[in-house]
Amino acid sequence: MNIVNILEEIEKVDAEVYERLNPRRAAMKQFFNFGSKVAVAAVPLALGSMFKKAYGQTSTAVAVEEVLNFALTLEYLEYYFYQKGADTAGLIPAGSPAVGAINTIRDHEQAHVNLLKTAITGLGKTPVAFTAGQFDYTAKGTFPTVFSNYPTFLAVAQAFEDTGVRAYKGQAGNLIGTPGVLQTALQIHSVEARHASHIRQMRKAPAGGGVSALKPWITGANDSGVPQVDPVYKGEDNLIQGGVNITSLGFSTNASTEAFDEPLTMAEVKAIAGLFIR
């Protein structure tokens, strides 16, 4: 992450960014020197502090905080889910590649939690806090075997990952004013899509449920085989992109829906996540 580039980008939409950040250009140069040496892990903190000083309570800061806390909620939802799955004896087939895959995904979700917490704190805001006990992964009884039946666990995992992809996608436009935060969100977004791709492959395997028709990408509206998660896939059968009907270009309906993932609004995602929060 190049902090100088980020500032130059902000300057395009806010010509006074340097003045906002610090009226003394010399001091900013010091910051650049600091920025070039700072560890990658500390960048979100440094960024957050800068924006706090620069924008204080303006609407930009509030919107960004709202998006980041929304994202943090989803990351907690995912992290505790995989943590509990990994910790439940007999759920994930021992000695199979699934163990490593679930651990990898869990570790990414935990890293996202930590990154978002740091960024929100850096903004001078309070990160939302969740404990494992605040989540009900049966979705109030809809998935009673989520931690005792491996295919059910994977089915819920797929719903979480595809929801995550759609949630970040839906918020990108709200981060246009903060390029560094936008890029970070996009870098999380594609990781969630990689997870979704792999979980879908796991569900195709016999042990994972043998959902043979499933693909790593989303075909039409709700290809999961789980009607209870219809809201996760609402609108994924869209064929029109930027005013162009993709089927009119000579592509099948399936390919046209698979080639483009669709966003969900914050309200739609909160409604889905809410099913899993006590």
Retrieve residue 229's tokens: 């998660």
How many whole angstroms separate alpha carbon 237 and alpha carbon 222? 8
Identified binder of other proteins from the candidate list 95, 133, 141, 243, rule CB under 8 A: 243
Assign residue 183 a region: left if phi > 0, alpha if psi is -120 to 50, beta otherwise?
A: alpha
Secondary structure letter of residue 24 according to DSSP:
-
Q: Which one of 138, 142, 201, 228 is in contact with other proteins (CB under 8 A)? A: 201
Residues shown for the chain: 278
DSSP 197-247: HHHHHHHHSGGGT--TT--SS--SS--SS-GGGHHHHTTTT--EETTEEGG
Q: Is 115 in the site for other proteins (CB under 8 A)?
A: yes
CB nearer other proteins, residue 112 or residue 125:
112
Interface residue with other proteins among 183, 220, 221, 234 (CB under 8 A) is: 183
Give the shortest CB-66-to-other proteins separation in angstroms: 17
100 near other proteins (CB under 8 A): yes
User: Binding residues for other proteins, how many (CB under 8 A)?
Assistant: 66
- Inter-residue contact 81 to 157 (CB < 8 Å): yes
Nearer residue to other proteins within complex by CB, 143 or 192: 192
| CA–CA separation, 192 and 197 (whole Å) | 9
End-to-end distance of the chain based on CA atoms, in angstroms? 38
Residue 265 makes contact with other proteins by CB under 8 A: no
Is the Cβ of residue 249 or residue 267 nearer to other proteins in the bound state? 249
Does 4 bind other proteins (CB under 8 A)? Our answer is no
Q: Does 27 bind other proteins (CB under 8 A)?
A: no
Number of other residues whose CB lies within 10 A of the CB of residue 34: 12
Verify binding: residue 89, other proteins, rule CB under 8 A. no
- Closest CB to other proteins among 125 and 169? 169
**244-245 vs 240-241, strand pairing mode:** antiparallel
Are the C-beta atoms of 187 and 98 separated by less than 8 Å? no
> Footprint of other proteins on residues 146-165 (CB under 8 A)?
165
- Does 17 participate in binding other proteins (rule CB under 8 A)? no
Instruction: Give the binding site for other proteins (CB under 8 A).
Output: 5-6, 8-9, 12, 40-41, 44, 97, 100-101, 104-105, 107-112, 114-115, 165, 168-169, 172-173, 176, 179-180, 182-184, 186-198, 201, 215-217, 241-244, 246, 249-252, 255-256, 258-263
